[in-house]
Amino acid sequence: MIFGPLRSAVDFVGLVSLNLRDTLFYVIAGRAYGQPVRLTAVSQQVLLSGLQAIPIVILLCGIVGVMLAIQGMQTLSIFGAEQFINVGLAVSIPKEFSPLIVGIVVAGRSGSQITSRVGSMGLNGELDGLTVMGIAPHRFVDVPTLLGLLVSVPILVVIGDFAALGLAGLYASTALGMSFHAFMDQLIELISLADYLLGISKGVVFGVLIGGIALAFGRSVAGGADDLGRKTTSSVVVCIATIIAVDALYSILGQL
């Protein structure tokens, strides 16, 4: 009984990797084969997955930042050590919370957008139409989507860092009766460059994962509207689950 789902999971991982391999091929060698990647298409995806996600990323990361500050200060107050909240924020936000929140937001927004777009292109015969025109669907559809995510997710992580740290700082400095500027100076001083870059690198990895999974689900749509709906839902669920799992993996590997 367990083998059925296990096998389809392995099949799906295979599908995602094959798809990613073909996509990568056109990024590197597309031009040589008369299949150049268009920057306008990439920028369109950046607009869709990146720019348009900025408000929700600021909102969610800001809220999580404030919540962290509140919870952290409550816990620290048991030891009378509220002023050390800046240490907790500096460690956890850039490395952990900002990439995770951004990953989940992008998985929800772009994961569904990509799967439903590619899925309906398949159902309408648009992908076949591209193929017979001699335009590789991987080059025309997948590459810009993936590159767009690769660019936008790390940028969103940086924006999420600012929002979460800024709002957390606003709350904590007020609660501690400090000036916002002084608090932020200390806070930024405490952030290690390695943690900050690790957070951004998670953005890159999450971007590739979301793109790879959502595109593979979109390609696997067959049959009709029912399947399109089902695959779009699965795509978002698998994207979010994968991001949380990979994030956990980062933490575990960080312990070694």
* Under rule CB under 8 A, residue 131 binds other proteins: yes
Work out how close the CB of 144 gets to other proteins at its nearest, in angstroms, rounded to a whole number.
12
CA distance 72 to 89: 8
* Under rule CB under 8 A, residue 140 binds other proteins: yes
The one-character DSSP state at 221 is: -
Which residues from 8-67 bind other proteins, rule CB under 8 A? 33-35, 38
* Under rule CB under 8 A, residue 218 binds other proteins: no
* Under rule CB under 8 A, residue 125 binds other proteins: yes
Among positions 54, 56, 130, 170, the unique one binding other proteins when judged by CB under 8 A: 130
Work out how close the CB of 227 gets to other proteins at its nearest, in angstroms, rounded to a whole number.
18
Binding segment toward other proteins, per CB under 8 A, in 64-72, 96-104, 122-130, 196-204: 122-130
**Angstrom distances, CA of residue 172 to CA of 16, 68, 74, 220:** 44, 10, 11, 48
* Under rule CB under 8 A, residue 70 binds other proteins: no
Among positions 2, 133, 253, 256, the unique one binding other proteins when judged by CB under 8 A: 133
Question: What is the identity of the amino acid at 245?
Answer: A
Among positions 6, 21, 75, 129, the unique one binding other proteins when judged by CB under 8 A: 129
Question: What is the identity of the amino acid at 211?
Answer: G
CB-wise, 31 or 181, nearer to other proteins?
Answer: 31
3-state secondary structure of 28: helix
Query: 115 with 231: CB under 8 angstroms?
Result: yes
* Under rule CB under 8 A, residue 124 binds other proteins: yes
Question: What is the identity of the amino acid at 230?
Answer: R
Work out how close the CB of 160 gets to other proteins at its nearest, in angstroms, rounded to a whole number.
29
The C-alpha angle with vertex 71 and arms to 70 and 76, in degrees rounded to 5, equals 100
* Under rule CB under 8 A, residue 223 binds other proteins: no
Among positions 1, 2, 28, 132, the unique one binding other proteins when judged by CB under 8 A: 132
Work out how close the CB of 22 gets to other proteins at its nearest, in angstroms, rounded to a whole number.
8
- Please, which residues have CB within 8 angstroms of residue 175's CB and are 6 or more apart in sequence? 69, 73, 82
Closest to 164 measured CA to CA, from 75, 58, 50, 51: 58
Closest to 122 measured CA to CA, from 201, 251, 216, 247: 216
Q: Contact residues for other proteins (CB under 8 A)?
A: 33-35, 38, 120-121, 124-126, 128-136, 140
